[in-house]
Amino acid sequence: MKMTFNRVLLAGVIASALVAPSVLAAETLKIAYIDPLSGAFANVGEAGLKHFEFVAADINKRKLAGDVKFEIVPFDNKVSPQESLNVLKKVEDQGIRYITQGNSSGVAGVLIDAVNKYNERNPGKSILYLNYAAVDPDFTNSKCSFWHFRFDANSDMKMEALTDFIAKDPKIKKVYLINQNYSFGQAVSRAAKEYLKRKRPDIQVVGDDLHPIGQVKDFAPYVAKIKASGADIVITGNWGNDISLLIKAAKDAGLNAPFYTYYGGGIGALSSMGDAADGKVKQITEWHANIRPNKTEKYANAFDAKYGGPPANISFYYLRVNNEMYMLAKAIKEAKSTDPKAVAHKLEGMKYEADTGEVEMRATDHQLIQPLYISTAAKAYHNPKDPKTAKFKGTDPEVKYDQDDSGYGFKTDARIEAYVTVQPTSCHMKRP
């Protein structure tokens, strides 16, 4: 697949080289990576950076953007919205025209505003913002911007997919919602109630907890409450320690209900949950290491060989980073220019054959429409013939790879096609 795609692109290179030889002269395109590289969330930022550096090297090696070389320039924003603005000023000063960021919708919202203002006040020096993980639906609705593209499915799309899957299971009668009390957690709770009501009015929401983010040390009381409610399943958008602690407390109390999560497989989550996750934690993602067919397998293995070792133990996780960068490369080639405005026009509406199927950057709101996978955590397969799997304990060959060296991986429950996740948008985009 990659080969044919490569060949197509190669043909494209030759064609474009014939048409406009001077525009795409050897040039280094700097992309500012703005995410936490110090402090509490540095592990997540560090992992993202590795993904970008790896894919940039791949693009440069295969000349996917023609003669344009990609260079990732990391900036530490300490997950602070204000610090991100300082960083953005640095980026402006250095003349970098592309930024990418993902961690925290708070930061993303600030960056969208700031980029809009900057581009308005400095026409001709505009900056393009590629968002790889901030999922607040507002960014492609009320706050949508010509200068912002999102490559992750937003939280409403993920909920559409999750509830679609839940609705098909007639045994599910009672659902419990537990989320962090801030914009994202509230959005998850609201969407879950709304979509479940639409798809399965008979399902009862037996609990809807919003707890302060990052403040709860002991989830046992919440689990006791879930248990008392008699819920069949739990839906949660919790991430970081809030998901790990919740899952561990559930296991301690012998709670059998599965958890439908957004970030149950997030970076480092499986390691800290350990066997509490086994069979209980479901996640919704655009990719995981054990999807079938897995066109990214070779790439992911190369990535893991480079970064998977101790002490960091980073597994390949963000397929969307690849989608983002390959699509950017394609847009640059099609636009025959690295000017953000021209590239943005090419990105709008772009259809691209990704490893998981065709994805489309919807022109109306700059939201990537892509297939998603629902999967359940399971013990990685112990293959007696493969010494590399010696410490794995699982028996299901489908769970071939573990994540973050935790001994646990994911097994696909369902693939949700891209069209299912499509949401209407209220975006009225102003185009320059």
Partner 1 sequence: MARLKYRPLNLGRWLVWGGTALLMILLPQILTAGFTLTLLSQIGVGIIFALSYNMLLGQGGMLSFGHAVYSGMGAYFTVHALNLISKGAFYFPVTLTPLIGGVAGAFFGVIFGYVTTKKSGTTFAMISLGIGEMVAACSLMFAGFFGGEAGISTNRVIGEAFLGISYGPSIQVYYLIVGWALICMVAMFAWTQTPLGRMANAVRDNPERAEFVGYDTHMVRFLTLVISGFFAGIAGGLSCINYEIVTAENVGALRSAGVLIATFIGGAGFFFGPIIGSIVFFTMVTAIGSITQAWAFYLGLLFLVIVLYAPGGFASLIAMHVPVIKARLMRRLWLPYSAALATGIALLAGLVSVVEMTYHFSTEAGANPNMKLFGLAFNVTHAAPWAVASALLVGGFIISRFAWNLVGRTWADIVHILQEQSA
Partner 2 sequence: MEFFLISMLNSISYGLLLFMLSSGLTIIFSMMGVLNFAHASFYMLGAYFAYQISGWIGFWPALAIAPLLVGAVGMAVERYGLRTVHKFGHVAELLFTFGLAYLIDEAVHLIWGRSSVPYAVPPSLDGAAFTLFSTEYPIYRVFMMAVSISMLIGIYLTLTRSRIGLVIQAALTHPQTVETLGHNVPRVFMLVFGGGSALAGLAGVIGGNAFITEPGMAAAVGPIVFVVVVVGGMGSLVGAFLASLLIGVIQTFSVALDYSFVNLFAKLGITIGPNTPLAALWDLTISQTAPVLPYLLMVLMLIFRPKGILGTREG
d(CA 22, CA 24): 6
Site residues (CB under 8 A) for partner 2, limited to 84-143: none
Q: How far is the CB of 315 from partner 2 (least distance, A)?
A: 12
Q: Closer to partner 1 at the Cβ: 136 or 164?
A: 136
d(CA 185, CA 410): 24
Nearest to 154 by CA among 428, 355, 363, 425: 425
> What is the secondary structure of 263-328 as a DSSP string?
STTSTTHHHHHGGGGTTTEEEEES--TT-SS-TTHHHHHHHHHHH-STTT-PPP--HHHHHHHHHH
d(CA 20, CA 311): 47
Segment interacting with partner 2 (CB under 8 A) among 107-115, 270-278, 285-293, 376-384: 270-278
Contact (CB, 8 A) for 233 and 210: no
Using CB under 8 A, which of 94, 256, 395, 426 touches partner 1? Answer: 94
Q: Is 401 in the site for partner 2 (CB under 8 A)?
A: no
Backbone Cα Rg of the chain: 22
Site residues (CB under 8 A) for partner 2, limited to 177-206: 181
d(CA 48, CA 259): 25
Q: Closer to partner 1 at the Cβ: 46 or 404?
A: 46
Number of residues that bind partner 2 (CB under 8 A): 39
E runs forming strands in 127-203: 128-131, 148-150, 174-180
Buried b (16+ CB within 10 A) or exposed e, 135-166: bbbbbbbebbbbbbbbbbbbbbbbbbbbbbbb
82 binding partner (options partner 2, partner 1, none; Cβ < 5 to 8 Å by kind): partner 1
Q: How far is the CB of 97 from partner 2 (least distance, A)?
A: 30
Element (H, E) at 54: helix 42-62
Number of residues that bind partner 1 (CB under 8 A): 45
Site residues (CB under 8 A) for partner 2, limited to 39-68: 40-43, 46
Segment interacting with partner 2 (CB under 8 A) among 27-35, 126-134, 209-217, 332-340: 209-217
Using CB under 8 A, which of 7, 125, 169, 212 touches partner 1? Answer: 212
Kindly list the residues in this chain that would bind partner 2 in the complex (CB under 8 A).
40-43, 46, 181, 209-212, 214-218, 220-222, 224-225, 227-228, 241, 244-245, 248, 252-254, 267-268, 271-272, 274, 311-313, 404, 406
Kindly list the residues in this chain that would bind partner 1 in the complex (CB under 8 A).
37-39, 42, 46, 50, 75-76, 78, 80-82, 85-86, 89-90, 92-94, 104-106, 109-110, 113-114, 117, 121, 136, 138, 181-184, 186, 212-213, 215, 306-312
